[in-house]
Amino acid sequence: MKKQYRARKRVPRTSGRETNGRRTRGNARFAWTGWDLLNGDVVPSLTVVLTTKGCSWARREGCTMCGYIIDSNPDAQASDIQKQFHEVIAHYGKAFKIVKIFTSGSFLDQSEVPIDVRDAILSELKGTPKVIVESRPEFVTPEICDDIFRINEHVEVAIGLETSNDCIRNNYINKGFSFRDFVRASEAAHANGFTVKAYLLLKPPFLTEREALEDALRSVRDAAPHADTISLNVCNVQKGTLVEALWKKGLYRPPWLWSAVEVLKGTHETATVICDPVGGGTRRGPHNCWRCDREVVAEIKEFSLSQNSASFTATCIDQMLWEYVLEFEEFSYGVPLVP
């Protein structure tokens, strides 16, 4: 029987992360509660976004779609990070089955989150069935996994793989690591009994709608043997990014929601694939024709909790337009045919 859940109320306008639930703004940049899948059950979750000095990769180069560095604080001290976490826990408590600790970078990068802060946070969440932390693969080493396993055994490591195609990841997204690096990180995490989530990006810049769709379908299949969950991040236009510069010139369009539906329907038998189309139905976010956006976003979110493709029942006249785009966009030399 399908579980009941409450729908998300608001989303941050420029964020690309999962945001299912209610959020408040405190000393931590954001915290919100929501619902997530845990071993097939829909359970309450808490998401905490800690403000740190920011992603070390973003400080050097950065990814073409990611604007999180704007929200970082170069002066963030260990005590600040710890204080933010404690404020959120004091407000919400710890009675959640899943707690997600996001830093807009890598929680396992000690230049961003000092080891004693990392360990203190993981230690406080010992009783939580699943603690999800995000990290680039270079910080998911056997040594670091051994260290954190001694403190908390219930960790899920979420890695922004984006695509299984090294050429797209490094040339179009500027991610700076290979698929092999991701596999190595996944093996290190799994060796300690941790679970792994892979984020995949639907529609990096410089791909047509069809190329993006095919890349996402292929990437789910390639990543599935190395990830317990796959989170399909439907690209949105974040401030201060190359994607935003292209979008302002009419050279990038966020993906159609129909493309996300197609990926989810085409891969749900291969892997557990979840999706929270942040900014869905807005100009900067994934969208269809505006008339059907709200309904399709709701169905995508429902599917993410049920994993039942029967969630997808919406139809709209603009599906013909989307199919036209899939067929003919390659002839426009990358210029989106429909805004």
The residues that touch ligand SF4, with contacts defined as CB under 6 A, are 55, 57-58, 62-63, 66, 68, 104-105, 136, 160
Select from ligand SF4, Zn ion, none the partner in contact with residue 136, using the beta carbon and a kind-dependent cut-off of 5 to 8 Å. ligand SF4
Which of 197, 208, 249, 254 has the alpha carbon at shortest distance from 65? 254
- The correct pick among 104, 164, 186, 288 for binding Zn ion (CB under 5 A) is 288
- Looking at the Cβ atoms of 45 and 104, the one nearer to ligand SF4 is 104
Q: Give one DSSP letter per residue of 69-83, joined into a string.
A: GGG--TT--HHHHHH
- 300 interacts with Zn ion by CB under 5 A: no
- Looking at the Cβ atoms of 70 and 316, the one nearer to Zn ion is 316
Q: Give one DSSP letter per residue of 185-199, joined into a string.
A: HHHHHHHTT-EEEEE
- Looking at the Cβ atoms of 32 and 68, the one nearer to ligand SF4 is 68
How many Å apart are CA 40 and CA 251, to the nearest integer? 40
Residue pair 296/288 in contact (Cβ under 8 Å)? The answer is yes
Q: Which stretch of DSSP H or E encloses residue 42? A: strand 41-49
In whole angstroms, how close is the CB of 168 to ligand SF4 at the nearest point? Answer: 14
- Looking at the Cβ atoms of 66 and 223, the one nearer to ligand SF4 is 66
- 151 interacts with Zn ion by CB under 5 A: no
Beta strands 229-234 and 273-275, pairing class: parallel
Stretch that binds Zn ion, among 18-26, 78-86, 212-220, 290-298 (CB under 5 A): 290-298
Which residue in this structure is represented by tokens 């908390």?
Answer: 152
- Looking at the Cβ atoms of 215 and 318, the one nearer to Zn ion is 318
- Looking at the Cβ atoms of 134 and 222, the one nearer to ligand SF4 is 134
4, with CB counted inside 10 A (0-12, 13-18, 19+), is exposed
In whole angstroms, how close is the CB of 10 to ligand SF4 at the nearest point? Answer: 22
Q: Give one DSSP letter per residue of 214-234, joined into a string.
A: HHHHHHHHHHGGG-SEEEEEE
In whole angstroms, how close is the CB of 253 to Zn ion at the nearest point? Answer: 15
- 294 interacts with Zn ion by CB under 5 A: no
Residue pair 90/83 in contact (Cβ under 8 Å)? The answer is no
Select from ligand SF4, Zn ion, none the partner in contact with residue 58, using the beta carbon and a kind-dependent cut-off of 5 to 8 Å. ligand SF4
Select from Zn ion, ligand SF4, none the partner in contact with residue 288, using the beta carbon and a kind-dependent cut-off of 5 to 8 Å. Zn ion
- 289 interacts with Zn ion by CB under 5 A: yes
- Looking at the Cβ atoms of 160 and 277, the one nearer to ligand SF4 is 160
Output the CA–CA distances (angstroms, integers) from residue 40 to 2, 106, 129, 230, 250, in the order listed.
11, 27, 14, 14, 41
- 338 interacts with Zn ion by CB under 5 A: no
Which of 94, 98, 95 has the alpha carbon at shortest distance from 86? 94
Characterise 21 by phi-psi region: left (phi > 0), alpha (psi -120 to 50), beta (else). Answer: left
Select from ligand SF4, Zn ion, none the partner in contact with residue 289, using the beta carbon and a kind-dependent cut-off of 5 to 8 Å. Zn ion
How many Å apart are CA 144 and CA 142, to the nearest integer? 6
Instruction: Please give the DSSP secondary-structure letter assigned to residue 157.
Output: E
In whole angstroms, how close is the CB of 338 to Zn ion at the nearest point? Answer: 11
List residues near Zn ion by CB under 5 A: 288-289, 291-292, 316, 318
